[in-house]
Structure 1
């Protein structure tokens, strides 16, 4: 019985041992610099100070600092950067500005390790430029592109770079036919959902610029409906869809949309804009489609009769 009991105890203890082994392994091989001699310098043991990698060694109560020469680093043992995860979460909450700040911090950190195996510089830099583009930082994107193009991009990143370039053209040219044609061409080359969401955002904006409200609305709504996994694109797409409903004079529909945005993304710039838009149309009713279309074309809409007053009959044109 003792043997059986001991065996059962060991079996019940096995999951704990496995978890302990995982924790130890993760700690040992988490965020660390691997030196050419095989030594590991963990993230808690070094910092970046004035562009230098400074190692801090504690001996009892004493500390000593030394600079690690980049040439002595063999590789980085670094899991998926927290900056990329945090930035994606912030963008999903409509906080693009905060996401840009986080990604800049990550890019600056990894930049000093550029060229070393296991480095995340390219990934953080690319995500940073994409966030700038999504946040409408046009000048910053243009300034960053030359350095981005000089890096060794993957095929997927080269395609995403084409989208950034197309987005720049959208803002600098009125050749909308060519822009939509290029967007549709890229979509035929890939089924990547991130690329699809980006392209539909561009197409929707083109329709908005052309005042094609129905097409713009459908394009914006494609993002949350068909590309919902790209959460960083959803808040802006939903806000733009609501703004388009206002342009179409579908005030009640827009009001419901805006209310949901305020509830879904509390404390975000997207929610702040939605709150202002909602206040501006508060109490307004949907306008009939024909009247909305006439207003969009610059034609005067038919007068709405006052309470207790009959509508004026349409004037008949004299026969020729």
Structure 2
């Protein structure tokens, strides 16, 4: 019997819990060469900004042990081109599109949300809080709970209430649970975690930083334990809030680990750079693992690791054993 893989972000039902991570699936056209983008739970766009951005100078990426450093700098054509060209292409194909947005001020986030509010094909809005606040000496929004909550509240007010708002959190903060709570109090319907923590490497041959920007976001398997910890802590504190877990999800086992820690969905990022079929493969592996463990529904596995031994939901294995 197939597993019921449906996942929910607020009132929005998704057919399965596997998404792309922001910035890792291009515009959707790139991945569509390999699989039907409607077959995954949702396609998450790169972070869209108000104005076009050229991004940071190269080199922008560097391989690290079990991971990758990147400093792309939110390169993109701006919201007008996105809304006129990229979003309609995704909508025409029936993709469930989560639009990630990034801004340098509360006003910019608000303007982005208003521009997208009436656009067809927007399933949810993900608020990238790892952007520098130009009005606060470039301090990243996610490192100031009150500023992050203000951004979320402004986006929530400017977005249609049938479109969930997801706050994307970074782990390199003093207290991720407090940050999550403030974002939910500000109006976030769900949370994404984790955004890439800041890292750096130095090329010992050139004796210079590996990235032109010096520092960059660390992604890949190296950060998965950090991501699982954040998902675990936030789910324990806010068990009713949907969480999209991400950070080094390379296999179905990785995805199941996130789910057991408290995520109702997972996003695949770095894996797509070497395996464009990763989302489909991970979804298949996750379903097989759930079936092997006797689950009828994905929902029964969400946060199961928090429950005392023997207190889990009654699944097919439990029912079969009790009838013997």
TM-score by length of structure 2 reads 0.27
Report the structure, 1 or 2, having the larger strand content: 2
Q: Pick the structure with greater CA Rg.
A: 1
TM-score by length of structure 1 reads 0.27
Report the structure, 1 or 2, having the larger helix content: 1
